Structure 1
């Protein structure tokens, strides 16, 4: 009986030791086992492993990362329970820029992430089809629309105005430039918008007159041209004494036509060198001299300087059947000669008495 009891005890003790060992081994196994999530292109699997690193686990599971793919964390990273391994294999997309389409690979699947992965930078106004936040499938075409702006400055001439002003002092048919014209300058700023290099719009954003135009001012004559008036004197009576020939020569052409500015009728009287006419005797100061200081002579006429200025060349026409007095010069004045009156010099008292007082026509010569 003792022998069986001892055997039983030893057997029980052995079983107890084995149970304890099994429990220890199971505890160690449970402690070393790690639960790892593996995400492959967003497809997730969960595995339990005793492997120590990412690379060892992927090798055991026969999971390979394609060339150019993305792995996080790195293959030599030590694993701990609850870790997630992210694997992104490269996918091909069509990138369209302008008219050019290029196939490129990226591990991402959202447009903005794909462009970032490909190091494609967008300008502030650039945009894409599909939108940046869109998730896309492999082989999808992503169009990049590049928007650029320029501001151009254009300078244009502002034509000057032509101003014509009448000038009553200037003869008709004549003109005078008072001020030369000059074009002004207008500066226009134009904003141009380009889509993938092609102009799609342009807008004027400002206009400024840099310099104002200067008008051209021209004076146009409106004064009526006084055409020379003529009268035929070659065959008229009243010869031309020698001292009057110079006046005649200057004012009568070869056809005997006399040129004059204007003509009007006055009352004419006559005087000579007698005391009754001039109030002086030979030897008196100023005897025989005109108011102009010239020697009195046939052809000298006494006038009112306010009507006919001294020095004016004249022709005196008779208005009756008597001969014309003829060519003369206004060189003298007299106290009684006022307004439309003249006094004609004659060399003798008989001629003065015969002339008397009568109307005559006075021509103001050119």
Structure 2
């Protein structure tokens, strides 16, 4: 074998040896890989509700989670604990905590929670939320990172609306105005609420809604009359006779009335109108002398029985005497319209006629009623007895308003 052949042989051997070494190394690596994979522990990682199956050589739960690139926060929830040894077919549950801003009692706090919803969060905070309490968002809302949660505990408030007291109403509102809006209590333009709308509520607050209304009240009232005196020489001094009876007038008064809860609290007169004027009462006051007078042709020794006239007589008529006067018409129910002397009053509505008692004033006499003129005594009446007269008036309304008056009467002829 020559030198070239030897060299070739050596190279071939070396090449075979190199191939054998590489194969061995590959085989060894493969065996090692298989052994490495086979010796891994199978675990199930549940992250925020999602499951992943993993194979790991981690010795602790924390290491297994780190292999899954899970950065464990201070408030995150891990089950089992992160320092517990990994076991085959273990289930590791990881729940990331949410940062939530909770407002209650007018103050805000930042909390971290792994609760599923708002209700569970409140339980974690030791809050027992009743149905009356206000929770925003609702208790079944899913908790999210960065969420704002507000909680207000309900408390009772005493409410009185329009004077009617209700049972205590539960509320979570802050001010009186918000409370009224919550209870659908609307205020009218004149209504008021005590305390004022901006007052902050608490359990001691009593809310009183006062219903105010302004109404117009029209009242008809009688108006008094004055008494007027007139000197009368036909009456002796100190004697008085009512010549005209007084009559009250009538006024209409318009009031502005303010009521609170249906009760009147103020009344203001805004307008007054005279419906009927009052009539003064006229009284004749005697100014005549009590002594008798003697006519010029008489002797000074003549007795009073022979004197020509007295202080209560008139040169143009008889003696003035007091009578009670009423008035009547020809159109009254049951009236015939014909006088005792046969005068048809319906055909003669302008006739100046009075009804008299014939035993006091003879029928057919001409009579003067003081202040009213002369009349003919042409009629009688069942109620006209003694010193009474009934004056005929064509207008029924005037007759009714005349009433009953004291008058002076004298017979002229």
Larger Rg: 1
Query: RCO higher in 1 or 2 (8 Å CA, sep ≥ 6)?
Result: 1
TM-score by length of 2: 0.39
